A and B are shown apart, each in its own frame.
Chain A
Amino acid sequence: MIKVENLTKRYGSVTAVDSIAFEVKKGEIMGFLGPNGAGKSTTMRMLACYLPPTSGRAEVAGCDVFKDSLRAREHIGYMPENVPLPQDMRVSEYLRFRAALKGVPGRRITERLTDVYDLCGLGEVERKLIGALSKGFRQRVGLADAMIHEPELLILDEPTIGLDPNQIRQVRELIKNLRSHHTILLSTHILSEVEMTCSRVIIINKGRIEAHDTPENLRARLSEGGEATMEIRVSDAAATAAKLKALAGVTSCSHQRLGEWTRFTMKIAGDPREHLHALAVAEKWPVRELSRKGATLEQVFVEVTHAED
């Protein structure tokens, strides 16, 4: 669906996107992850045929975004960051205008409108002026606009930015429901979002692709890393910490006194829980908790994007 080769964008002497290459297959939800200013929006704008690339090429649904821009645009539903909308139009009026502009045949417009109202929950604000809508509804109008012409590809730039937690959940659900009909490329700097919605992830930093994989695989990369927690009742915490640290697979150990219990937090490689248990039995420590947390995408992200600093 998307094919990107050596795509580069320079603004004067600043290289915003530095010869990136990737592919997105039909039906995938691709997450574009990166810190602010990493080049996510620039890449998406180039794919949406808004900015011409400095060099390299990109193809959407078999159409070159630069040479065959008009045809490419017919296959794309694009929602820019911060969802710019005209303030003076009513929701229905705006979506009608956008549908006609994107080539939806006149007799099908009403039908498409009903569809996107249902999908995006816009029925109740249909007659309202866009300028009077809350941020959450504006976001949904943006989404409705992006998919009004039933594009094969949806490009959503930070679709959940500035929303409250409930609205974020609603938008995420909506995106998940769209998966069956559209290929989706979405950008975000919220990691949990990618973990929840995307089938593949590209981590981009300073205009370069730093990692490109499924969320599971990316986590697995750091699966050796992680954290184990054990709460036990011991009198000499420091001595216990030394014993724990001596175990294979435990790289560091800190402790915190909780009344007569002590909580030990260990950085681990692999899974030393069995050894921890064996040690506790041998030493006759009463245990009330023993747990391990795998690496999160957040750790992958921090590791990848800070590697060069």
Chain B
Amino acid sequence: MRRFFTLLHREISHYFHQPLAYVVLFFFLLLTGANFHAGISVLNRETGQTSVVEAFFNTVLFWFPFVLIFPLLTMRLFSEEYKMGTIETLMTAPVRDSQVVLAKFFGAFVFYLVLWAPSVLYFAIFQWVTGESAAGAIGSYLGAYSLLVLIGLFYLSIGCLASALTENQIVAAVIAFALISLMFFLSLLSFLFLNASPALRELSYYFSTIEHMAEFSRGVFDTRPVVFYVSMTAFTLFLTFHVFQYRRWKR
């Protein structure tokens, strides 16, 4: 376990040693800030049941940067080590392949959480300034943020897999972006199938990240997406582990 935490610590600090992390943090803050502002402006003009939290998590301005950050966070995880050759010193130390894969994955996950941490402040400031609640209920926060965590786990694992496939970071980013977009656009199927048979509607709901967020940010907690994201993450990490091992074996 100590080795895992040593690796994890290294992975996390590696993010903060690189300028990319700060560039991503900066622009991500900028975009989510703009999104927050846009959400409130819309609410100011309309009357309805929508809460600030719902408005924040369910716009194009939210989804667009959201899908983009994953390739940026994960592209270097394995690719850089392959390219630099540091994979050789890493894997000749007494560490298990699984420890390396998990440390890299959770390292990225911790950075992802750091990325989202400031957004909590937006809602806190909103409540402090307006004196009104930003969410309908506390469940709204819990739902939205736990779904953020779940989607994050899944998409980050896709990024890990892409990075384990190639020693070229750009290629890794492109693969990750393509796969994540594909998963994300499956969301839109359920909107195409609005008038289709209930079975098809039901099926498409499983993939529909957008619908999941709409539900969760209203404070509706559904176990189906939880199972979906957790099992998909586990499966993708399992693939990553095998790709990582295979790359060494075939050489």
Chain A interface residues toward B at CB < 8 A: 11, 45, 48-52, 70-71, 73-74, 76, 78, 80, 82, 84-89, 97-98, 100-103, 145
Contact = CB atoms under 8 A, between A and B. Distances in A.
Contact of A86 (B86, B88, B95, B248): B86
Contacts of A102: 93-94
B84 A100 contact: no
Contacts of B249: 52
Contacts of B65: none
B89 A80 contact: yes
A50 B17 contact: no
Contacts of B2: 100, 103
A269 B84 CA distance: 51
A84 B89 contact: yes
A49 B95 contact: no
B248 A101 contact: no
B85 interface: yes
Contact of B6 (A45, A87, A100): A100
B94 A74 contact: yes
Contacts of B93: 73, 98, 101-102
Given A11-B251, A52-B249, A89-B17, A101 B88 contact: no
A18 B86 CA distance: 27
Contact of A103 (B9, B94, B248): B94
B113 interface: no
Contacts of A85: 86, 89
Given A49-B92, A78-B89, 15 more contacts: A45-B88, A50-B92, A50-B248, A73-B92, A73-B93, A73-B94, A84-B86, A85-B86, A86-B84, A97-B6, A100-B3, A101-B3, A102-B94, A103-B2, A103-B94
* Most chain A CB within a 10 A radius of its CB, from B10, B87, B91, B92: B92
A84 B17 contact: no
Contacts of B87: 84
A82 B251 contact: no
A216 B91 CA distance: 37
Interface in B1-27: 2-3, 6-7, 9-10, 14, 17-18
B37 interface: no
A101 B7 CA distance: 7
A84 B84 contact: yes
Interface in B74-105: 84-89, 91-96
A27 B84 CA distance: 32
20 contacts: A45-B88, A49-B91, A50-B91, A50-B248, A51-B248, A51-B251, A52-B248, A73-B94, A78-B92, A80-B88, A80-B89, A84-B85, A84-B86, A84-B88, A86-B84, A97-B6, A100-B6, A101-B6, A101-B94, A103-B3
A45 B86 CA distance: 13
Contacts of A48: 92
Q: Which 7 A-B pairs have the closest CB atoms?
A: A84-B85, A88-B17, A73-B94, A100-B6, A78-B92, A48-B92, A84-B86
B101 to A, nearest CB: 15
Contacts of B91: 49-50
A97 B251 contact: no
A82 B85 contact: yes
Given A82-B85, A86-B86, A88-B17, A101 B92 contact: no
B36 to A, nearest CB: 33
A104 B37 CA distance: 51
Contacts of B251: 11, 51
Nearest to B10: A97
Nearest to A145: B89
Interface string B153-164: 000000000000
Contact of A101 (B18, B85, B95): B95
A96 B214 CA distance: 46
A272 to B, nearest CB: 52
Contacts of A49: 91-92
A88 B89 CA distance: 16
Contacts of A89: 17
Nearest to B245: A52
Nearest to A89: B17
B133 to A, nearest CB: 43
B12 to A, nearest CB: 12
Nearest to A74: B94
Contacts of B17: 88-89
Contacts of B84: 84, 86-87
Nearest to B96: A70
A11 B250 CA distance: 8
A88 B10 contact: no
A98 B2 CA distance: 12
Contacts of B94: 70-71, 73-74, 101-103
A84 B242 CA distance: 24
A184 B10 CA distance: 29
Nearest to A93: B13
